Structure 1
Amino acid sequence: MKSCITVSLVEEARGGPFVLWDGLRAACELSARLGYDAIEIFAPGPDAVDPEELKNLLADHSLELAAVGTGAGWVKHQLQLADADATKRQQAKDFVRSMIDFGGPFGAFAIIGSMQGRHDATVDKPTALGYLAEALEELGEHAAQYNVPLIYEPLNRYETNQVNTVQQGVELLEGLSTGNVKLLCDLFHMQIEERNVAEALKTGGQHVGHIHFVDSNRRPVGEGHMDYRDIIAALRSIKYEGYLSAEAFPYPTPQIAAEQTMRAYDYWTSAT
């Protein structure tokens, strides 16, 4: 398993659960100094980062780009994949597609979380879930040209009423014709929704494509009450070799949160 840390470039989301906030260069410098393998970028859109500059920053600091978030499509533009309006649904898919095209050449996958939307008075539950599945089919196939999966994230009940548990996520993915969509298992969301986080990871099995490495209170690992012994054992049992990515509040500061997460990563990945 490899280490990763989140970098937000979306000013409207400042204060949210991303560790680093003060620009790509500073983020890369700190991440490299602390020994991280990769960064995960939450950007306003595909044009917010110059690809050549990013390529050079990653090379200069021996870092990979693990993933790119798509949540700015919701935060900045109020786009979501279950919208009752077909034009807005298409705009949402186009935004995700543009982020796939941004991250793909770096070998990074795009993450769909908040853009999955929800069912409401204008769109009933089966229809909303159908719209989501349709988008995952289309966008998963689009991502395949870069030899990366599309990553889909179940969220807790307070953030979506589409898919909340790993089991529900597995059922959604297994109903698709494409095999190029994987699950993001965020430990914070899981500790709200799952009876047993470790067992849920085992349920995810081969569908697990990314992990958000965070504690029960959405602070860095070690700042809450989650026990990671069984979680790491479960990830090893499903032969997970992807990233443990710190998507957490920058508590008490971004640097301290980054340092705390790396200490926790080193401890738990070396534990037997």
Structure 2
Amino acid sequence: MKLSVAIAGAEAMPNAFVVFRGLPQSIRLAHEIGYDGVELALKRPDEITRSELKGLLKENHMQVSAVSSGQVFAARNLFFTEEDKEKRAELYSTFCGFIDLAGDFGQLVNIGRTRGSISGRDPMLCEQLFLDMAGSLSEYAQTKGVELILEPVNRYEIDFINNLDACVSLVKKVNKNNFTMMPDVFHMNIEDDHIGKSLIRNSEFVRYIHFADSNRHAPGDGHMPWDEIFDALSSIGYDGWTTVEILPFPDPETAARRSVAFLRENYGSYYC
């Protein structure tokens, strides 16, 4: 079992879904608490230099689990279903930078809310805009040995690709062997018919996973059906990263410690 925690730079927006802010201190603290890696939630690829990141990871015996792109949407208003050519070019350039970074650290780049919305437009147009961008970026990522992982997000945050079945349908249309899926059980608890069955049904495409409880607090602090989730992941032989992406309540360190303690004790038993 490899546990990771979502972190961001000190200048991340208040609504960024991360536990710790400030990349150097976050990496050190995550190691101290007992995580194996960090997920980097970045607005731009140059928020941290490769040399600094390499040094911090080596010093703290940590890895990068993935590069996350949610802030590209939230802070810069760039997304896959955008129609404006200049903004699409800016998004493509940004993602190529993330892919370059992931080529050295983690080999995975997340697509969450950055996939964009429909917002009253023609759904087929939006899907095609998404597929065009996803296909181009997948081809570039292949040259770097990087995978793109699409995250279903609940309807209250975005109106496009909300559950695992819809996500897999689109992944199949992209039709690239390095374009797959990352479930988040918080979103699944809202959108999927049955969390365990949906994970099993779509197991071929489960490459990475986010954990949070039903209230988006630390695992164990809500009413998420954890035994069902752990059973499903065990049954499909999932051995990838499990990343804690939660609201930092009551405070970041307490939330991070609760998460790692709960998962080491409960989820960890499935790896014995």
**8 Å contact from structure 1 (residues 166, 203) kept in 2:** no
> In the aligned structure 2, how far is the partner of 1:203 from the partner of 1:148?
25
8 Å CA contact 2:16, 2:71 repeated in 1: no
RMSD: 1.5
Shift of 1:222: 1.1
Q: Give the match's secondary structure for 1:241.
A: coil
**Unaligned runs of at least 5 residues, structure 2:** none
* d(CA) in 2 for partners of 1:82, 1:10: 29
2:24 and 2:86 mapped to 1: Cα distance? 37
Q: Normalising by structure 1, what TM-score? A: 0.94
Whether contact under 8 Å (1:79, 1:88) holds in the other structure is yes
Instruction: Give, in whole Å, the separation in 2 of the partners of 1:183 and 1:255.
Output: 29
Amino acid at match of 1:243: W
Query: Structure 2 counterpart of 1:125, which letter?
Result: P
Give the letter aligned to residue 225 of structure 2.
Answer: D
- Structure 2 residue aligned with 1:223: 221
The alignment of Structure 1 onto Structure 2 pairs a total of residues equal to 270
Query: Structure 1 regions of 5+ residues with no counterpart?
Result: none
Letter of the aligned partner of 1:156 in structure 2? N
SS at 1:209 equivalent: coil
Instruction: Show the counterpart of 1:82.
Output: 81
Shift of 1:197: 0.7
The match for 1:117 is 116
> In 1, are the aligned partners of 2:153 and 2:187 still within 8 Å (CA)?
yes
Question: Which string of whole-angstrom CA distances, capped at 9 and with x for unpartnered residues, describes residues 72-101 of structure 1?
Answer: 222222111101223322222222221111
8 Å CA contact 1:213–1:246 kept in 2: the answer is: yes
> What is the identity percentage for the equivalent residue pairs of Structure 1 and Structure 2?
30
What amino acid is aligned across from residue 232 of structure 1 in structure 2? F
- Show the counterpart of 1:128: 126
Alpha carbons of structure 1 residues 252 and 139: separation in structure 2 relative to 1, 3 Å: same
CA contact (8 A) 1:17 1:218 kept: no
Q: 2: distance between equivalents of 1:37 and 1:230? A: 24
Superimposed CA distance per residue, residues 104-151 of structure 1 (whole angstroms, 9 cap, x where no aligned partner): 211331111111111134x31111011112222121222222323111
> Which residue of the partner structure matches residue 270 of structure 1?
268
Partner of 1:5: 5
Aligned twin of 2:253? 255
Q: Report the CA distance shift for 1:114/1:34 in structure 2 as closer, same or farther (over 3 A).
A: same
Note the alpha carbon deviations across 1:22-44, whole angstroms, 9 max, x for none: x2221122111122111001122
Contact 1:10 1:43 in 2 (8 A): no
> 3-state DSSP class of the match of 2:48?
coil
Q: Is the 8 A contact 1:38 1:66 kept in 2?
A: yes
> 1 CA distance for matches of 2:218 and 2:133?
32
The corresponding residue for 2:17 is 17
Q: Does 1:153 align with 2:151?
A: yes
Compute the displacement of 1:209 (Å).
1.0
Judge conservation of contact 1:4–1:246 (CA < 8 Å) in 2: yes
Q: Is the 8 A contact 1:156 1:189 kept in 2?
A: yes
3-state secondary structure, aligned to 2:65: strand
SS at match of 1:76: helix
The equivalent residue for 1:241 is: 239
Matching residue's letter, 1:193 = E
Q: SS of the residue aligned with 1:13?
A: coil
- TM-score, reference length from structure 2: 0.94
Q: What's 1:97 paired with?
A: 96
CA displacement, residues 167-213 of structure 1 (integer Å, 9 cap, x when unaligned) = 11111111223111111101111100012111111122120111111
Higher mean displacement: 141-150 or 240-249: 141-150
The amino acid of 2:72's aligned partner reads G
Q: Specify the SS of the correspondent of 2:182.
A: strand
Aligned to 2:70: 71
Shift of 1:218: 0.8
Please give the residue correspondences for 1:26-45 in structure 2 after superposition, counting only pairs within 5 Å: 26-45=25-44
Q: What amino acid does structure 2 have at the position aligned with 1:269?
A: Y
Cα deviation, residue 14, structure 1: 2.1
Is the alpha carbon distance of 1:201 and 1:68 closer, same or farther for their aligned partners in structure 2, counting shifts above 3 Å?
Answer: same
